[in-house]
């Protein structure tokens, strides 16, 4: 459902005297969870920063081991393998993640749904499609989708998918959750400041070595080299969903790779959605949901959520925003 582009620009200083201490900022880039991760740590020594980055990488790898549907030994794969057969006992951590996912499904009327993994892949964005799927194929593709079907037993910590072939997947919030957990670990170690950027699902804590807030630039979806607004992030997170890298065009109509799990059809009318909140997990899920819900419904939802904001760019490059975003449209 979500393959968010990396078009958030992050700027920071490298070595600055702050509060009578010298802090060094170290950044490393690596591939984790099948995506690019940029991890930035502000610490008093380079060796300390590098050790913290290694610890963050280990935590992200631990999360991937738990939620990956590609790893046959993961808890998620075990749930999917036993669909229609029996409930599967899982860790409290995974159980909580599934619980929260279902709550997000409820508030978004199913626009976000971890059971999207049950969909047959009738839309192909690899250049091989010559015509769109039939309405019958699309209807059949979502037959096993439905977060309401997921059965949770909180006392036994079990998860059951009642239909054979039903699956869950965390592609629409997994990287955000991993970023949150890496940040949580760094805070527990009292790491001065940092940024975890999981291919555009980004979370921060502390301040730059200068004492200033971390700053992100929201890029124009039609021209990634241009920034239409700079926004500060203070102990906050952001996630972005965009459709300008993966889409289909049939008879002059653009079809996004972000598929509505309720209908099986691609979302329309939006080029990008950026959600700001304290939790990268929540930002990640809501960015996908708003993309599918549409501008009016999506922004209305965000306006009802505390400490959560959104910027939407439509297919005509017009900018829309929630009530708490204060910059002027260009």
Structure-token pair, residue 186: 């760094």
Provide the angle, in degrees to the nearest 10, between the axes of the packed helices 280-293 and 174-188.
160
The model's pTM is 0.90
For the chain, give the percent of residues with pLDDT over 90: 70
- Model pLDDT for residues 48-100, shown as the tens digit of each residue: 999 999 999 999 999 999 999 999 999 999 999 999 999 999 999 999 999 99
Band of residue 19 on the pLDDT scale cut at 50, 70, 90: very low
Q: What CATH fold (topology level) applies to the domain 8-55+192-321?
A: T-fold (3.10.520)
Provide the angle, in degrees to the nearest 10, between the axes of the packed helices 174-188 and 46-67.
140
Q: What pLDDT is recorded for position 113?
A: 98
C-beta of residue 160 within 8 angstroms of C-beta of residue 86: yes
55 is in an annotated binding site: no
Whether the pLDDT of residue 15 is over 70: the answer is no
Whether the pLDDT of residue 9 is over 50: the answer is no
Report CA-CA distances (Å) from 226 to 18, 138, 229, 230, 319.
31, 37, 9, 11, 14
172 is in an annotated binding site: yes
Mean pLDDT in residue range 8-15? 40
Q: What pLDDT is recorded for position 269?
A: 87
Q: What are the sequence ranges of the domains in the chain?
A: 8-55+192-321
260 is in an annotated binding site: no
Q: What pLDDT is recorded for position 317?
A: 85
- Model pLDDT for residues 252-295, shown as the tens digit of each residue: 677 788 999 999 999 988 989 999 999 999 999 999 999 999 99
Alpha-carbon distance of 82 to 69, in angstroms, equals: 13
Whether the pLDDT of residue 316 is over 60: the answer is yes
Band of residue 3 on the pLDDT scale cut at 50, 70, 90: very low
Structure-token pair, residue 237: 């997170």
Alpha-carbon distance of 25 to 210, in angstroms, equals: 11
């Amino acid at each position: 459902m979500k393959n968010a582009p990396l078009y958030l620009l992050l700027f920071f200083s490298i070595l600055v005297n702050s509060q009578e201490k010298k802090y060094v900022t170290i950044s490393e880039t690596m591939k984790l969870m099948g995506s690019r991760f940029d991890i930035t740590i502000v610490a008093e020594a380079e060796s300390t920063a590098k050790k913290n980055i290694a610890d963050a990488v280990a935590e992200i790898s631990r999360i991937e081991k738990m939620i990956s549907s590609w790893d046959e030994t993961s808890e998620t794969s075990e749930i999917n393998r036993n669909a229609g057969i029996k409930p599967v006992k899982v860790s409290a951590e995974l159980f909580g993640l599934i619980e929260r996912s279902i709550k997000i499904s409820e508030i978004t009327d199913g626009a976000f749904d971890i059971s999207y993994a049950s969909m047959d892949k009738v839309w192909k964005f690899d250049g091989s499609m010559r015509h769109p799927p039939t309405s019958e194929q699309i209807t059949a593709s979502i037959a096993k989708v439905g977060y309401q079907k997921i059965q949770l037993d909180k006392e036994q910590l079990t998860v059951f998918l009642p239909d054979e072939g039903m699956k869950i997947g965390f592609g629409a919030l997994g990287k955000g959750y991993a970023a949150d957990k890496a940040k949580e670990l760094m805070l527990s170690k009292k790491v001065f400041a940092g940024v975890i950027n999981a291919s555009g699902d980004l979370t921060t804590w502390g301040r730059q070595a200068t004492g200033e807030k971390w700053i992100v630039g929201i890029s124009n979806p039609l021209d990634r080299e241009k920034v239409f607004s700079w926004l500060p992030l203070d102990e906050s997170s952001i996630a972005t969903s965009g459709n300008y890298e993966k889409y289909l065009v049939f008879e002059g109509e653009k079809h996004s790779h972000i598929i509505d799990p309720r209908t099986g059809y691609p979302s329309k009318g939006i080029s990008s959605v950026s959600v700001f909140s304290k939790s990268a997990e929540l930002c990640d899920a809501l960015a996908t949901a708003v993309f599918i819900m549409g501008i009016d419904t999506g922004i209305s939802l965000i306006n009802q959520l505390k400490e959560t904001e959104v910027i939407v760019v439509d297919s005509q490059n017009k900018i829309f925003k929630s009530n708490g975003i204060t910059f002027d449209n260009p």
